[in-house]
Amino acid sequence: MTNNPHISIQHLNVEIGNQQILKDISINIPNKKVISIIGPSGCGKTTLLKSFNRLLDDTADVKVTGKVLVDGENIYDPDVEVTHIRKKMGLLSQRPYPLPMSIYDNVAYGPRIHGTRKKTDLDEIVETQLKATGLWNEVKDRLHAPATRLSIGQQQRLCLARGLAVEPEIILGDESTSALDPVSTSIIEDLFIKLKEKYTIVLVTHILRQARRVSDYIIFVYMGKIIEFGPTEELLLNPKEELTKDYVKGFIS
């Protein structure tokens, strides 16, 4: 798709227990685009996403083979520092999970563990990222209130701000709007579109309309394999593979 892919996956296989979840995945994720991963439930979408920042490491009985190159560096290389890989990527999960601390501390958490200590620096990061996610005006008077007092939609934007605060290059979204109301959903979607100027964004979604609204490219996964990968309109309106056609029409779900 592009000459210098941001993430390049080569022959990735993932087994959990005795079950093969991902089968020989090879794909290049282009830089600074929004890419949606679609496919029926249980097809391996989330596992694929989690393989990007090695969150699979924590799963019991997991076996990963193959390579995932981020900026040309194989993240499954035993010499690679896993915290360094994860710092490059912000994760937005299905439901917002704010850390058990204040709004301010949630955003400052990442910079703090990576060594930013000065109060003025932290203040600036918090303000910048809360503004980037459109939360600043809503929370600037109660930065030290518990993050759980925010609405679910606000919490999800806070989690996005928290992820952006470690200056990642990539944002990973795992059905990030599935717990949100329509208004919050559209705020998050608009944020994704705005953020792709600076970040590569990979989203797992089961909502085809959402994939169409926000993404530049779509990956269709079925039974642990990539069936088709292409520009959004092309894949949705003019799929090359029969399986993709059936899924887009709603025959497989």
Partner 1 sequence: MIRRKLEENFFRILMVLATIVVAGSFFLIVGTIVYKGVPFMNWDMVTKIPGGGFYIGKEGGVLNAIIGSLYVAGGATILGLFISIPVAIYINMYMGGKNLIANTLRIAFDVLFGIPSIVYGAFGFLIMVYFGIRASLLGGIVAVTLLVIPILVRTLDEVLRTVPRELRDASLALGATRWEMSKVILRQIRPGIFTAILLSFGRAIGDVASVLFTAGFSDNIPTSLHQPAATLPLAIFFQLGSPVEEVQGRAYASALILTIVVLLITVLSSLLAKRFSKNNIR
Grouping H, G, I as helix, E, B as strand and the rest as coil, residue 68 is strand
Q: Least Å distance between CB 91 and partner 1?
A: 4
Which 30-59 positions form the footprint of partner 1 (CB under 8 A)? 53, 55, 58-59
Position 180 contacts partner 1 (CB under 8 A): no
Nearest to 30 by CA among 56, 55, 9: 9
Q: Least Å distance between CB 92 and partner 1?
A: 9
Q: Least Å distance between CB 38 and partner 1?
A: 22
Question: DSSP 3-state helix, strand, coil percentages of the chain (rounded to 5)?
Answer: 40, 25, 35
Q: Which residue has the tokens 């210098």?
A: 4
DSSP classification of residue 248: H
Position 110 contacts partner 1 (CB under 8 A): yes
Of residues 4 and 113, the one with the C-beta less far from partner 1: 113
Position 146 contacts partner 1 (CB under 8 A): yes
Q: Least Å distance between CB 83 and partner 1?
A: 4
- Binding letters toward partner 1, positions 123-142, x by CB under 8 A: --------------------
| Spatial distance between the Cα atoms of 202 and 223, rounded to a whole number of angstroms | 19
What letters, b where the CB count within 10 A reaches 16 and e where it falls short, cover 10-37? eebbbebeeeebbeebebbbbbbbbbbb
Q: Which residues bind partner 1 (CB under 8 A)?
A: 53, 55, 58-60, 83-84, 86-87, 89-91, 93-95, 97-102, 109-110, 113-114, 146-148, 159, 162-163, 166, 172
